[in-house]
């Protein structure tokens, strides 16, 4: 009887505001006065309320299934729909942000995979470019072999010797590939004909050293064609003297002029003791004459090579000149 206790313990009850009023009835008594109310102390109160709520839910279910709550439900859903749509959008945004943050590891892994793939693609691209260049060189080689009676071996230049005293190339092919000392090495640059750049000086199993025609120790027998008439001479390297090539030992009676074509004579083996096995075939282009001068009893001429030997990156070794 809390109510009674509260009422009787109120200070000043029966006086002031409450004076003259009938004493208030305790709530429990008031509830008891109503037949439909269940006293709070009753053990049946909780089960009854639960049962009532369950029945209410069932009633709602039945009414909804029979369509009697249709209009009411539609109105409620019409009110809720905008709120649901807005919250869903907000939820999607939050989820997207969360997913982005959560996917950081996945993105890192994907980035690493993409970098790896990019690296592979770059390598493949380089390989494809190398193959394209090799294809072009092989086509060029075939074309040269069709024009000339030469058997060629295409080789990439692996190094230009940094020794300032000599002009030498290192090739990535040697005796295992059929390269021998004394063989002529030709190259091509731009629209120039395939021209002599040097002679194989020494050979290893898989490498070879090429003495360039611009080196001072290089001497190649040559022919100058002037108006269809051949004139002999020796092409001497002049790099250590500040020039490139010089045509020497041309007889005075021979006529040569600027612009004349100089080709190999095929006699190098007889002229150069250091290259006893020199096997430079005849008629390999070397360059053109720029200026002619008298040198004692003979003539000499400054020459311009068709190919700058210092710039070549790919050469062909003439393995044989099967005439």
Contact stretch for another protein (CB under 8 A) within 90-98, 187-195, 219-227, 244-252: 90-98
Q: Which of 6, 10, 57, 294 binds another protein (CB under 8 A)?
A: 57
Cα separation of 204 and 292, whole Å? Answer: 40
Q: Which of 1, 10, 29, 76 binds another protein (CB under 8 A)?
A: 76
* CA nearest to 26, candidates 61, 2, 45, 53: 2
Q: Which of 6, 54, 142, 257 binds another protein (CB under 8 A)?
A: 54
* CA nearest to 261, candidates 303, 321, 219, 214: 303
Q: What are phi and psi of 159, to 5 degrees?
A: -165, 150
Cα separation of 269 and 271, whole Å? Answer: 6
**From residue 75, how far is each of 25, 45, 83 by CA, in Å?**
44, 35, 14
Closest to another protein by CB, 58 or 109: 58
Does position 10 interact with another protein (CB under 8 A)? The reply is: no
Contact stretch for another protein (CB under 8 A) within 4-12, 92-100, 155-163, 166-174: 92-100
Q: How far is the CB of 119 from another protein (least distance, A)?
A: 34
* CA nearest to 61, candidates 73, 49, 50, 48: 73
Does position 46 interact with another protein (CB under 8 A)? The reply is: yes
* CA nearest to 303, candidates 262, 273, 256: 262
- Taking the alpha carbons of 163, 165, 167, 173 in that order, is the dihedral positive or negative? negative
Strand pairing partners for 153? Answer: 317
Q: How far is the CB of 122 from another protein (least distance, A)?
A: 38
For residues 124 to 163, the per-residue mask of contacts with another protein, x marking binding by CB under 8 A and - elsewhere, is ----------------------------------------
Tokens of 110: 């994907």
Contact stretch for another protein (CB under 8 A) within 3-11, 55-63, 105-113, 122-130: 55-63
Closest to another protein by CB, 61 or 142: 61
Can you give the binding site for another protein, defined by CB under 8 A?
Answer: 30, 45-46, 49-50, 53-54, 56-65, 69, 73, 76-77, 80, 83-84, 87-88, 90-91, 94-95, 98
């Amino acid at each position: 009887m809390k109510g009674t206790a509260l009422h009787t313990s109120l200070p000043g009850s029966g006086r002031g505001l409450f004076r003259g009023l009938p004493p208030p009835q305790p709530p429990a008594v008031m509830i008891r006065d109503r037949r439909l109310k269940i006293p709070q102390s009753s053990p049946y109160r909780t089960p009854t309320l639960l049962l009532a709520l369950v029945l209410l839910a069932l009633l709602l279910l039945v009414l909804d299934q029979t369509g009697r709550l249709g209009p009411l439900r539609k109105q409620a859903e019409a009110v809720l729909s905008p709120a649901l749509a807005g919250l869903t959008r907000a939820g999607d945004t939050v989820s997207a942000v969360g997913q982005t943050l959560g996917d950081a590891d996945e993105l890192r892994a994907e980035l690493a995979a993409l970098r790896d793939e990019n690296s592979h693609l770059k390598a493949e691209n380089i390989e494809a470019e190398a193959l394209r260049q090799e294809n072009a060189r092989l086509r060029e080689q075939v074309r040269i072999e069709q024009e000339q009676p030469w058997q060629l071996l295409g080789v990439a230049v692996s190094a230009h010797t940094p020794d300032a005293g000599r002009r030498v190339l290192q090739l990535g092919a040697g005796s295992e590939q059929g390269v021998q000392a004394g063989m002529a090495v030709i190259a091509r640059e731009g629209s120039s004909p395939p021209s002599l750049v040097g002679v194989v000086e020494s050979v290893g199993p898989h490498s070879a050293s090429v003495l360039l025609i611009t080196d001072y120790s290089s001497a190649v027998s040559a022919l100058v064609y002037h108006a269809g008439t051949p004139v002999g001479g020796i092409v001497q390297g002049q790099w250590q003297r500040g020039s490139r090539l010089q045509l020497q030992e041309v007889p005075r009676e021979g006529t040569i002029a600027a612009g004349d074509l100089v080709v190999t004579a095929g006699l190098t083996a007889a002229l150069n003791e250091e290259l006893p096995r020199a096997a430079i075939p005849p008629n390999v282009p070397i360059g053109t004459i720029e200026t002619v001068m008298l040198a004692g009893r003979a003539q000499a001429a400054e020459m311009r090579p068709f190919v700058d030997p210092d710039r070549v990156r790919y050469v062909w070794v003439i393995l044989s000149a099967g005439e």
